[in-house]
Amino acid sequence: MRKTTNNEDTVAAEETPRAETVGPTEFYDPVIRTELKKAAVWIGMITLVVGIIFLAQPILLILGGLVLAAMLDGGARLLGRILPWPRGLLLAIVIMGVSAFLVWTIIFAGSELVGQAIRLQSTIISQLERIGILAEETGLAFESVDLENLGQQIFNSVGRVTAAVTSAIGALGSMAIMLVLSIFIAAEPRMYERGVAWMLPLSEREQFYGNMNKIGFTLRRLMAGRLLGMAVEGFGTWILLWIGGVPLAALLGILTGLLAFLPNIGAIISGVLIILVGFSGGIETGFFALGVYLFVQFVDGYLIVPMIAKRAVDLAPALVIGAQILFGTLFGIIGLALADPIIAMIKVALESHSQRVRGHSKIQNSTIKA
């Protein structure tokens, strides 16, 4: 019998097949794939947060364009109930009507409003000085200078992230961008909706279309109530203050109408302005201005908002104020203006998701019982 050498034993061992194990670079290993998915989720979340921080302003501009598009779309739909014309023509009528109103306001009331704005500033300063003097006489521990700087300090603390947007040029540029976006989106909303849905799995598209329909309906109703409230508060304040002989009635009416777009906070600011200017004309004028403010807010808060806005989405006042403070501090005046619509969209999306989960749970429970 031939004896095997050590070399022959080594060769035989090398030729014998071994049970190989999966290496750390093999992605088809279930453990490796599970860990990679977890890491990808965390990386994606971190990337999303960083992206939102650095892209906050463009994201808000896009959301603002969506909100304006909902307003234009709502106007076109409203006209469509009266005029059986093509959608493009109805949308053009709405845009031209809004543009004509803005041009008319600037041409015929611009010079008067500029003069009233200058008077408003001096009136507010003088009234704050009077309040400071009265406070000193009663022994309170703050001075009139503190009151003069109070409003400026409040507005300076808002919008650290997007300070450029709050400037006049930045605000006009942002409005122009949002307006262009809104026109394109309102002209072909289904095209952009299908484009976004194309990036989703087939199983999620039906749910996405349903959510978009609900969000669109909610925004249209919310913005319809907001615009109607702005018109009623603006014109109502203007006419009633003018009848009562309150100074700067036209400017106060326009400011009240514009600030009505910011629920809760806008009403507080406009109320302070109306009361300060009213008492500058005397005690009786001041109480009349206070009565006008309370009456207008009553009509808007208890008639217009419940009739239109709350049928679409019922938002708690504390939730809206908290969102306005948070968005205003982080993103400036645009975040403050869009806080209410953003919260409404989030609320609708969460409610839709909750209904879907409950539906799946009922189906699973019925299957188990069967």
- Averages of pLDDT over runs of 10 residues in the chain (370 residues) are 52 53 59 78 84 79 89 89 88 90 73 71 77 72 51 44 45 79 89 88 86 89 85 90 87 86 82 87 88 88 68 73 83 82 88 78 68
Identify the pLDDT of residue 26: 56
Name the DSSP letter for residue 300.
I
Identify the pLDDT of residue 56: 78
Residues 361, 368: Cα–Cα separation, whole Å: 11
Residues 91, 75: Cα–Cα separation, whole Å: 7
Identify the pLDDT of residue 324: 83
Residue with tokens 């965390």: 42
Which 3 state secondary structure label does DSSP give 336? helix
Helices 317-369 & 56-80, crossing angle to 10 degrees?
A: 80
Identify the pLDDT of residue 108: 64
Identify the pLDDT of residue 28: 62
Identify the pLDDT of residue 291: 92
Q: What is the pTM of this model?
A: 0.71
Identify the pLDDT of residue 139: 65
Residues 70, 158: Cα–Cα separation, whole Å: 27
Listed in sequence order, the residues at least 6 apart from 296 whose beta carbon sits closer than 8 Å to its beta carbon are 232, 233, 236, 237, 240, 256
214 class by beta-carbon count within 10 Å (0-12 exposed, 13-18 middle, 19+ buried): middle
Residues 138, 145: Cα–Cα separation, whole Å: 16
Residues 256, 52: Cα–Cα separation, whole Å: 33
Listed in sequence order, the residues at least 6 apart from 224 whose beta carbon sits closer than 8 Å to its beta carbon are 74, 308, 309
Helices 265-280 & 202-243, crossing angle to 10 degrees?
A: 10
Domain-wise residue ranges, the chain: 56-357
Residue 67: in which H helix or E strand, if any?
Answer: helix 56-80
- Is-contact 65 334, C-beta < 8 A? no
For the stretch 15-37, pLDDT in tens is: 555 555 555 555 566 777 777 78
